[in-house]
Structure formats: C-alpha cells, structure tokens
Amino acid sequence: MTRLAVATLNAGKVREFQEALGTAFELVTAAEAGVGAFPDETGASYEENALIKAGHVAAASGLPALADDSGLEVDALGGAPGVYTARFGGPGLTDGERMAHLLQRLRHVPDPARTARFVCVIVLATPAGAVEAFRGVSEGRILQGPRGAGGFGYDPIFGSNELGLSFAEAGIAQKRRVSHRGRALAAFREWAASPEGAAVLTDTTRRDVEE
C-alpha cells in the first residue's frame, strides 16, 4: 500500500480522495504528515497552484504528496473566474453572494451562450522531485438561478450536460461520476497503476522539490 500525503488540512477532502482511489493507497492529511501550513497560492494556473502545495508538502513530509486546484470557467466571461473562482466578487463573500455576483454578471446572456466548465488539476509531487499533473473537466452551463439543496460553492447554478441536473440536485455518486475532481482522480489512479507510476511512487530518493 502506497502512503500519500494530501495537501489539505480538511479531513473530509482526504476521505473523498480515499474513496475515489481505493485501498491501494493510504492517504493522510498534511497535518498528519507533520505539515501545518501552506505557502500562498500565487500561481497563474491550476497546475502552478497545485504544485506549490504538493511540492511544499512532499519536501516537508518526505512523502509523495497530492494537491488539487480547481475553478469554474465561464465562456461568456472569457474563461473567468478560473483560478480566482474562490475569490470571485471580492474577499469575504459567502457562496450565495458569489453565485449572485456571477448571475448578475450574466444577466443579459442568453442560455445558449452560458456555457461553462469546472476544471480540476491534481498534481503529484514526490520527495525525489518527480511531478505529474492530472486534469479533469466537467462541461455544463450556468443556470438562470439556483437549483437543488446539495453540494457547495457554485453547484446550485452549474447545470451538468451529462446529468441534466445541477450539481446541487445530483446525488453524491452521480456527481462524483462526472465531476472534474472525480475525473482527475481517476486519471491519477490509472497512471499510478502503470509501471511508470509505480516506479515514481516507490522512489524513496530525497531532494528539495521546491528548488
């Protein structure tokens, strides 16, 4: 069983990763791996932000580390909010206020032009300095208003093309099957099961991956 540190202090996210990756991996939070803080996410892309976190945790813990960064890309806004999804509309807003801000920005955009996608990039960084990135995308559109009581973030206003539901209306298993994070995790799992992935994950050489 391969032990991996997940670059998060959120035990719930670790459980989500564990359920998606199965019993071939033992996942621990960054805190359980002895890492209590992360550097600022100053990257210009999902890959850069995820690498900042994964590289830091791998170097500090001596374990291969996984980190993710994700965002919502709205075509009518030129791909915004993108890497700024969590801060869209300004600091200190609630999820509901961020959704309202997005809907206001799109108030004159007709349904056919409200296409959007959730994107997730998961980066693996190892103490030996290896870096691998895995991308998952879920296509949909921004609805005219919130639908459903589940999910979080922008889920109530994101209509999945594949499900015909908002992410907030979908069940957990339904959403995981088509979600951006679920797809990125599936890509990592497939790679990790390959000879190349196994070799990278079992390399115990240490060096500073943040150089």
Give the CATH number of the domain where residue 188 resides. 3.90.950.10
- Strand 131-142 versus strand 115-125 pairing type: antiparallel
Q: With respect to residue 208, please indicate whether it lies within any of the assigned structural domains.
A: no
- Choose, from 40, 68, 69, 95, the residue flagged as catalytic: 69
Q: Which domain holds residue 15?
A: 2-201
Based on the structure, what is the number of domains in the chain?
Answer: 1
Instruction: Look up residue 85 and give its two tokens.
Output: 């999804």
Whether 111 is a known active-site residue: answer no
Q: With beta carbons less than 8 A apart as the criterion, state whether 140 and 119 touch.
A: no
Contact between residue 8 and residue 33 where contact means Cβ atoms under 8 Å apart: no
pLDDT at 210 over 50: no
Q: In the predicted model, is pLDDT for residue 208 greater than 60?
A: no
User: Are residues 71 and 85 in contact, defined by beta-carbon separation less than 8 angstroms?
Assistant: yes
pLDDT tens digits along 5-60: 999 888 888 888 998 899 999 999 999 999 988 898 899 999 999 999 999 999 99
pLDDT at residue 161 above 70? yes
Residue 24 lies in a domain: yes
Q: So what's the pLDDT on residue 132?
A: 98
Asked if residue 211 is part of any domain, the answer here is no
pLDDT in tens, 91-123: 999 999 999 999 999 999 999 999 999 999 999
194 lies in a domain? yes
211, pLDDT greater than 50:
no
Per the DSSP assignment, residues forming a β-bridge with 118 are: 72, 138
pTM of the model: 0.91
Using CA atoms, how far residue 136 sits from 106, 179, 190, in Å, is 25, 8, 13
